[in-house]
Structure 1
Amino acid sequence: MTSCDLATILPRVLIVSRRTVRKNKFVNFVGEYHLDLIVGYGAVPVIVPRVTGVHMLLDSFEPIHGVLLCEGEDIDPSLYEAEMSVLSSEELEEIRQFHASDTAIDQEKDSIELRLAKLCLERNIPYLGICRGSQVLNVACGGTLYLDVEKEISKNGQEVNKVVHMDYNNYDGHRHDVKVLENTPLHDWFQDSLEDEKMELRVNSYHHQGVKRLAQRFVPMAFAPDGLIEGFYDPDAYNPEEGKFIMGLQFHPERMRHQDSDEFDYPGCPAAYKEFVKAVVAYQKKLNSSTNVPKGLKLDQEMENKRKIIVRSFSIARNMYATGCETPPSKLSVLEAGAEFLESNTALTIQQEKRLKQMGATVRNASSFLERLNKNEERERVARNIMGKMSIEQLCELRSFYHMMEQISSEVMERKLQDQVHEVSC
């Protein structure tokens, strides 16, 4: 099998890059640990560049079989209605100075990633959020974030269990404890490394923000000693074998490695990526099975000639309806071929016959068809008028809604068809 074949077959995981400055120029990057694991488990990472306007071009990245969102700057507080009054203006300025590289808001990255997160939630596309990616997921579902974990939690009387979540002097080596909850994916992945009583892991930490109010649909998987949620997932959207995976991890399991080594701290560290890609592969298969169209039958020459005559008949009838002109006597025999086909071909279903009538394949019920056509044109004119007054944001939300309805309709229709087949077989 060639590399081109693999690129076509393997599922696609979208990853949004982060922007930084190098040699006085903006550059985009993605951590290679993420890419290595995605490739290693059998998917193709597709990097979505953080450049102006990309949030309007996400349809161009279809098909999307999975989304992995990872590091980046703080999310714009206005997107989750942050309670700014909790911290004083002096404290906020101190945060900006101490975490200067993170507090520089990147609204373009916010727009791209929130759109992708909502798309995953609407279509049940597998989603893995690491660090900032977990925060994006929570915000997309209506949750909120701490503007600064250590300052805000300390105001809640948690000084006894204070945790350092960011150590710039020991960036990769810094660790703190988290307590893992039983009967969660995180517990399954790390169970061989957990003591029954403590149920604790030591994880890395590169953040000064985190989940404050967890969105209602999610369930926590781990807590830091100060009460911060370090992992969460949607139990109703978690079944990797069936293509379901919606999860956020505040820590970076891909970077939990021994110093000067690629050996992981725990055997379970890469499990999130392994199970995520498993879900991505299953989702691709499910998507392909719902969109596959059976190949047409090969016709012999005689059948092909008959097909051409019938197609021409339908074409002439359609032109009659469109122009309102009467059919020349020389064309009547051709029209009869289409009418005869509709009347005599018992293999056509009622739905197929209705569709052919609407295309102008017969003069029967022509007036009602034209009346319906005029109504549809009027509805289209009104819809275009209304949508012409909508903002780009509103139009994108509307399109996403109908994408979701299309997916739901396809799933329900497929289920009903399967039920019918089952009834017939019984």
Structure 2
Amino acid sequence: MASDLSVILPRVLIVSRRSVRKNKFVDFVGEYHLDLIVSYGAVPVIVPRVTGVHTLLDSFEPIHGVLLCEGEDIDPSLYEAETSGLSQEELEEIRRLHASDTAIDKEKDSIELGLAKLCLERNIPYLGICRGSQILNVACGGSLYQDIEKELFKKCPENQRVKHIDYDNYDGHRHRIKVVENTPLHHWFNDSLEGGKMEIWVNSYHHQGVKRLAQRFVPMAFASDSLIEGFYDPDAYNPQEGKFIMGLQFHPERMRQQDSDEFDYPGCPSAYKEFVKAVIAYQKKLNSSISVQKPIKLNQEMENERKIILRSFSLAKNIYTTGRGMHPSKESELDAGAEFLVSNTALSVQQENRLKQMGATVRNAGSYIERLKLNEERERIARNVMGKMTVEQLSDLMSFYHMMGQICSEVLERKVNGIVNDVDS
């Protein structure tokens, strides 16, 4: 039974972070993330930060959820960095103060932006923690502060400024945030909001953050300096129905008491719990749509044409089975079926005989039979020619037509999908 769990349980993709250890690259994912994903009933699938992986994301299908978490700063060229107004001296100081974060990893950016956009296109559940929330905002057209202290503090009164990273008290550092009413974050931490103040204390490990929130999102919490600490898409949030698109700037999975695994608040693991609930629901919905494929919808004109052809075949069958003719005024109704057969010659002789038994070739079948015979003659000539060819020539010919068949299949599939999409719309 245990060996089947990887097939049964939904899959959550998590991209690793690259670091250097003993002069070698090492990829890792924080264990707290993995623990929570597994404990709530999903399987974490780690996507390694390896060159070229961003072109291989289809290989990780099926994807039932994506969790993106820690990592370096996002490449500023991917958002409106030119509007930051930071001088070259300030940028150099930022790199010196936050050396571990300012080394841009373009491969990780490509992988994670690709996954974020995939989730947005397919409505795959997405949870972004810290950098993952910033990736989500950038993927939707939002922007970031390149450095909160250098940019945001200029707009903020000194008594409202917040320390968002403390290297001397890394895991122990906390700052206050105000939770927005009637948001998922409010519901998760409701029992911990003392005196109706709508405030909790969260950890903080970042020097960048959301500057302009993408239009589709709604804030869930703010720091006292006005920095957005959490946001979500209300139109894509319903865990029971497999909908979950959210970003949190803080790390609820690491909000634990010193030297203990006990959470600061009972609501800390709720983001992961609800995320996995959505992942499970999404998997069920995906499996249902695969197992029971919806029929292609026809527009009214095509549906009328189908009914005319169907009636033509039905009349022809009645003529064949009863042996009686039909009134001359109704003979024109047989034309649609006859024209359909004449225009579709990719049938074998056996299929043609079966159609005759059904009475489908009663009218105008002569031209159809002639075309079948012509195809048989062409086949005979082709066999004679190929019989005189060498093994090498036949092998080359077969390879050529195999390649052409693949190309034809791909082009045909695109055209058919285009027709179906036009019909659906």
Q: What amino acid maps onto 2:129 in structure 1?
A: I
Q: Specify which of 352, 360, 380 is matched with residue 335 of structure 1.
A: 352
| Alpha-carbon spacing, 1:209–1:363, altered in 2? closer, same or farther (3 Å) | farther
Structure 1 residues 85 and 192, CA gap change in structure 2 (3 angstroms): closer
AA aligned opposite 2:75: D
CA gap of 1:72–1:364, structure 2 versus 1, over 3 A, is: farther
Equivalent residue, structure 1, for 2:169: 170
Aligned residue number for residue 128 of structure 1: 127
Amino acid at match of 2:354: A
| Cα deviation 1:317-371 (Å, max 9, x = unaligned) | 9xx957xxxx9xxx85663025435849xxxxxxxxxxxxxxxxx949989xxxx
- 1:342 to 1:6, Cα distance in 2 relative to 1, 3 A: farther
Q: Residue 20 in 1 paired to residue 19 in 2?
A: yes
Matches of 1:150 and 1:265, distance apart in 2: 27
TM-score scaled by structure 2?
Answer: 0.73
Percent same amino acid among aligned pairs?
Answer: 74
Residue in structure 1 matched with residue 254 of structure 2 by the alignment? 255
Partner residue in 1 for 2:55: 56
Alpha-carbon offset, residue 6 of structure 1: 1.3
> How far off its partner does 1:158 sit?
3.2
- Work out whether 1:141 is the aligned partner of 2:125: no
Secondary structure of 1:19 counterpart: strand
Partner of 1:304: none
In 1: Cα distance, 2:209 partner to 2:235 partner: 23
Indicate yes or no: 2:261 matched with 1:244.
no
Q: 1:139 to 1:363 in 2, by over 3 A?
A: farther
CA–CA separation in structure 2 for the residues paired with 1:342 and 1:146:
74
**In the alignment, residue 111 of structure 2 is paired with which amino acid?**
I
Quote the Cα distance in structure 2 between the aligned partners of 1:250 and 1:54.
26
Rounded Cα–Cα distance in structure 1 between residues aligned with 2:198 and 2:370? 72
Q: Which residue of structure 2 aligns with residue 222 of structure 1? A: 221
Please, what is the CA RMSD of the aligned residues? Answer: 3.2
Q: Deviations over 1:37-87 (max 9, x none)?
A: 000000000000000000000000000000000000000000012135521
Q: 1:409 to 1:235 in 2, by over 3 A?
A: farther
Equivalent residue number for residue 191 of structure 2: 192
Distance 1:255 1:70, change over 3 A: same
Given that residues 16 and 47 in structure 2 are in contact (C-alpha distance below 8 angstroms), is that contact kept between their aligned partners in structure 1? yes
The AA in structure 2 aligned to 1:170 is N
Displacement of 1:156 in angstroms is 1.3
Q: Report the Cα offset of residue 195 of structure 1.
A: 2.4
Which ranges of structure 2 fall in alignment gaps of 5 or more residues?
A: 294-340, 362-366, 373-403
Output the amino acid matched with 1:290: S
Helix, strand or coil at the partner of 1:15: strand
Deviation per residue, 1:300-331 (Å, 9 max, x gap): xxxxxxxxxxxxxxxxx9xx957xxxx9xxx8
Take 2:205 and 2:238, find their aligned partners in 1: how far apart are those partners? 29
Shift in CA distance, 64/332, structure 1 to aligned 2, threshold 3 Å:
closer
Q: Which amino acid aligns with 2:7?
A: T
TM (norm. structure 1) is 0.73
1:343 and 1:263 mapped to 2: Cα distance? 76
What's 2:386 paired with?
none
Which residue of structure 2 lines up, in the alignment, with residue 150 of structure 1?
149
Name the counterpart of 1:305.
none
Q: What corresponds to 1:8 in structure 2?
A: 7
SS of equivalent to 2:49:
coil
8 Å Cα contact 2:178-2:198 kept in structure 1: yes
Q: CA deviation at 1:249?
A: 0.1
What letter is aligned with 1:337? R
- After superposition, the Cα gap between the structure-2 partners of 1:79 and 1:341, relative to the gap in structure 1 and judged at 3 Å, is farther
How far apart in 1 are the matches of 2:151 and 2:350? 84
1: CA distance between counterparts of 2:166 and 2:287?
46
Does 1:279 find its partner at 2:296? Answer: no
1 CA distance for matches of 2:150 and 2:194?
31
**Deviation string, structure 1 residues 380-416 (Cα, Å, up to 9, x no partner):** 89x98xxxxxxxxxxxxxx9xx99x99x969x97xx9
CA distance in 2, matches of 1:184, 1:366: 68
Shift of 1:293: 4.7
Alpha-carbon separation, structure 2, partners of 1:409 and 1:123: 16
**Contact 2:84–2:146 (CA under 8 A) maintained in structure 1:** no
Q: Distance in 2 between matches of 1:138 and 1:365?
A: 64
Change (3 A) 1:233 1:342: farther
1:43 aligns with 2:42: yes
Where structure 1 has 5 or more consecutive residues not aligned to the other structure, the ranges are: 295-316, 345-361, 368-376, 385-398, 417-426
Question: What one-letter code is carried by the residue in structure 2 that aligns with 1:335?
Answer: E
CA-CA distance at 1:196 after TM superposition: 4.4
Distance (whole Å) between structure 1 residues aligned to residue 175 and residue 369 of structure 2? 77
2:121, 2:350 → 1: CA distance?
52
State the match for 2:32 in structure 1: 33
Q: What is the aligned length?
A: 335
> Any idea what the Cα deviations from partners look like across 1:258-312, whole Å, max 9, x if unmatched?
0000000000000000000000000000000000059xxxxxxxxxxxxxxxxxx
Alignment partner of 1:6: what SS? Answer: helix
For 2:51, give the aligned amino acid.
Answer: T
SS of structure 1 residue aligned to 2:100 = helix
TM-aligned CA distance change 1:97 to 1:364, over 3 Å: farther
Residues of 2 paired with 1:15 and 1:69: CA distance?
Answer: 6
CA offset at residue 159 of structure 1?
Answer: 2.2
Once residues 239 and 68 of structure 2 are traced to their aligned partners in structure 1, the CA distance between those partners, rounded to angstroms, is: 18
Aligned residue number for residue 359 of structure 1: none
Counterpart AA for 1:177: R
SS at match of 1:83: helix
